[in-house]
Every structure is written in C-alpha cells, then in structure tokens.
Structure 1
C-alpha cells in the first residue's frame, strides 16, 4: 500500500471527488453558480455542477464533481483495529460456557429521546442484520431489550436488576451532538451507581467514532455497518480479559 494517496476518478491520482449538498436558494442558474463557488472554496478546482434539482420553492440540491489537491498520508490515519477474532455462534456459545459457566446477560436500548430502534434491534433481535442472527439467537446469552427512549436511571436500574454483564446503547437520530451528551451521562451514571463493578458499556450508532470510547466513558464504540457477530465476538473477548483467560 502506498503511504500517500489521492482520490481516483478518471485516472490514477487525478484527485477527482464527488460531493452533494443542499443550499437554501431557489433552483436556477444563480443557484448553480453558488454551488460552484462553494465547491471552489471547499478546495475543488475545477468544479462542475453535474446535477441540481429543486427541493420545494426555496431549496436546491446539488451534486458536484471536481478535483482536489489534497493528499492523504496513510501513516496519519488513526482507526480502532479489531484486536479479537470473529467467532461463529457456536464458538461464542462454547467459549462463554467455559469462561462464565452461566449465560452472559446483555441489557440494551436506545437512550434519550431517540425513538429509532432499528440499530439496537439489528444487534439484539434474533432476525439480526446483514445475514447474521442477533444476540437473542445465541444460546449462552440472555438478552433484555428495553426498546426506545429509555431514561438513564431506568437503564441503570434494569442493568442492576438483571445483573448485566454488558449494557448496549444505541443512538441513531441525534441533533446537536445529543448522542455524545447522552452517552457521557449514561457512563457517568453507571460509574456513580456501581463504580468498578459496573457492566461493560458499549455504544453504537452511525454518528459515533470508534476512537471516542475514552471521551464517552465507555468500553467500546461501534459505528455503522457493525454486525451482531462482531458485537458477540467482542463480548467474548472482553469477558476473557476480565476473567484473565487467554483467547
């Protein structure tokens, strides 16, 4: 892999990118000109408005294609690498039975005002996501799905009542960084209520950055595209570390 890379459009290293956005301007030639000016200020030169259409009377949606001069230094790219193997459901069940000698208890839900359970349901419900069955399918997992708009005190109470090993929270639709504030409130509440005996705290949602775990006060952050198998494999890995068992 090359250390330095540029976007690829028509030819290698030509820097061509495509972006889309909406401006609060009525559809027409002046709107296209405004979109091109914005693209130029974003560093696209030349920039071409390849598509535009009105959204109501006072807004226009644009697709712009153009070249950027920026170069990516791969040595500066920071991500969270998966440090544990992906396990099959059978391997998850076998390992948990050996390590815990009981079912691992998972409590999950959407906290705050978020009413969209699609994310947490994809991970917890047996129907699963991306061809993988959810955590309810795993024989050695006990799953408690609290659903949507769960308050932090309710989540803490449920986790304590169920003697949860792990708490999974989801934030899908958020505004003004509510997903960050809600998660920080949640982690602080668990620290205050349980201290070092708190369960594993796992946050997930499309706007989360996996690098934010420390800032959020949680043990793991999963972003878009995460499958139930990845979460189950992480829980096994975390339980093995907690028990001091080699993988």
Structure 2
C-alpha cells in the first residue's frame, strides 16, 4: 500500500497549509480580495486571509491559510540521497594522507554578482557552522576562499591545479544561480582542465548536477563534514 500523506494544520490530515506572497496592489479591500482570489485559484478552499501589510509603494504582502485537497505519495518521491559515508575529521585527514600523499587543494568562491558569502564561509572558514569546523581546520586540506563577486575567468585562473572548486550561490533572481554555474562549467571545459566541481546554495535542486555540468550540488543545511566526506569519496578513495 502506498504511504500517502496530507498536510497537517489543526488536526491530522486536514490539508491545511499556510502560504505567503506579494501582489503589486496598494493595501486595502481590493488587494485583500485579489489575494483571496489568487489563493482560491491555487486550490485553497476555503481560504482565509490572516495577514496583509503594505510593502513599498503600491505593493502588499499577504499570508493566507486554507485547505488543499492534494496529497503526496511518499513512495513516488525521488530525492538525491547521500551515496557516500559520513566520515569523522580524523578519518578524512587519514584517507587524504594515505591515498594522495599530499594535501587536497580546494578553491571556493561566490561567482558572478553574488555577494552573499555566508554559505561559502560556513563551509570553508575555521568557524564553520552548526558546531562543525570548516574545511580550513582539516590538516590535509589546502583551502583558498576567494570571497564574493568573483568573475568566472578569475576563478578558473585561481583554480589552476586545484583538486576541487566549490561555488556558493544565494542570489536566484531570474535564475542567476543556474546561469552562473553553467558558465562556470563551460569555462572549465574550455580551459581544458576540470577539477571536481561542486555548487551549493539554498535554492538549488540537488538532482540537477548533470544538467548544470557539475559533479555535485549541496542544498540547504549542508555541513562542512558532509562536503569533506564527499571530497574524500571522490578524490581520495580507491575507485
């Protein structure tokens, strides 16, 4: 039997969901009506407007609560599972030292116009994230963090001889993150040398790695140890 689930709001399986959006309409009764009409078109029945607030000139932000009839068959859900072991810091260093007999080199950056370095810093910098130290803390990793708004040609030049390149993309307007990563992949192909390419950010679909021309995509909640374990899996384990 399929494992089918529905959203939970007030009672189990009642289908209640909450969504938010902005409309280019000045706040007022007409704007409220437009928000409810949109919610109805989205399948919320009944829909309740629980919050409306002006945001800027001629725009209103809404929160709508309502019931949907949709359900999810968990047996049909496909996600990108981790296909490598999650190693300890000691095991990561040992594997690199024994297999490579040198330091594994990593270059990271935010490319294009993206100036949000929180993600790349969380993975690379010593302070790390979620109680884990960043890749700079691993003795057998040589890490270079180029920072924000790095042009792709500059990253390709800086990554000469690197084992792996990590890029973080937070800005997603008009699919800038997808365009930038495809540009990165094409630039390394044109250069005739291709390190392991890893992209990360909260709005990536982790199943799109092949489509974007990279080896791996890491999404929201990724920790430094996950990335380091993947580097060992791809670069410092016997194939």
TM-score of Structure 1 vs Structure 2, range by shorter chain = over 0.9
Aligned residue in 2 for 1:214: 210
1:236 aligns with 2:229: no
1:137 aligns with 2:133: no
Cα distance, 1:116 vs. partner? 1.6
Unaligned runs of 5+ in 2: none
SS in 2 for 1:176: helix
Q: Distance in 2 between matches of 1:233 and 1:184?
A: 25
C-alpha RMSD of the superposition: 1.5
Cα distance, 1:57 vs. partner? 4.3
Determine if contact 1:114/1:174 at 8 Å carries over to the other structure.
no
Deviation track 1:114-137 (CA, whole Å, cap 9, x = no partner) reads 122111111111011111111001
Q: Distance in 2 between matches of 1:24 and 1:208?
A: 27
Cα distance, 1:2 vs. partner? 5.8
Aligned residue in 2 for 1:224: 220
Aligned residue in 1 for 2:171: 173
Aligned residue in 1 for 2:66: 66
1:74-153 alignment runs, 5 A limit: 74-153=74-153
Aligned residue in 2 for 1:19: 19
Cα distance, 1:75 vs. partner? 2.4
Determine if contact 2:25/2:60 at 8 Å carries over to the other structure.
yes
Q: Distance in 2 between matches of 1:130 and 1:14?
A: 34
State the number of aligned residues: 239
Q: Distance in 2 between matches of 1:154 and 1:19?
A: 41
Q: Distance in 1 between matches of 2:16 and 2:39?
A: 13
TM-score by length of 2: 0.95
2:187 to 186, 189, 193: 189
Deviation track 1:66-124 (CA, whole Å, cap 9, x = no partner) reads 00011112222121000112112111111111111111000110111112211111111
Q: Distance in 1 between matches of 2:141 and 2:57?
A: 53
Q: Which runs of 4+ in 1 moved over 3 A?
A: none
Unaligned runs of 5+ in 1: none
